[in-house]
Amino acid sequence: MATEHKNPMKGRNTAVRKAILNPLQRRETRGESQTDFWRRYGVTQSAGSRFESGRPMQSPVQILMALEALGSITSDELDMVVQLLQGVDLPRNGHHSK
């Protein structure tokens, strides 16, 4: 008799996918403005609007959203990370800018 094993990650994967693939729904569920919602991830309102319209999101934003959706980072920790990264010249497309 085969035993059915449930994947404990399935529900977590679904939460992450929803957060990343439908940020508009996540924002509206929270009842937040674009400015307030996207600021949490270090993103401007205009860039957030583009993401909500289906434009691709940068990997760092996706990672922050995934960590938050998984409950792996608190709101305070998220704020701290974004503040630390403000003004840091991060590499783009795998290359450091000069």
Q: How far apart are CA 1 and CA 12, in angstroms?
A: 28
Render 53-98 in DSSP notation, one character per residue: TTPPPPHHHHHHHHHHHHT-S-HHHHHHHHHHHTT----BTTB---
Q: Evaluate whether residue 3 is within a structural domain.
A: no
Write down how long the chain is.
98
Of the candidates 6, 8, 27, 5, the residue with the CA atom closest to the CA atom of residue 70: 8
Q: Evaluate whether residue 92 is within a structural domain.
A: no
In this predicted structure, the answer to whether residue 84 has a pLDDT above a threshold of 90 is no
Q: How many CA atoms lie within 13 A of 68 on its CB side?
A: 22
* Residue 36 belongs to domain spanning: 14-85
Q: What would the pLDDT profile of 32-50 be if each residue is shown by its tens digit?
A: 999 999 999 999 999 999 9
Name the percent of the chain lying above pLDDT 90.
53
Total of domains in the chain: 1
- How much is the pTM? 0.72
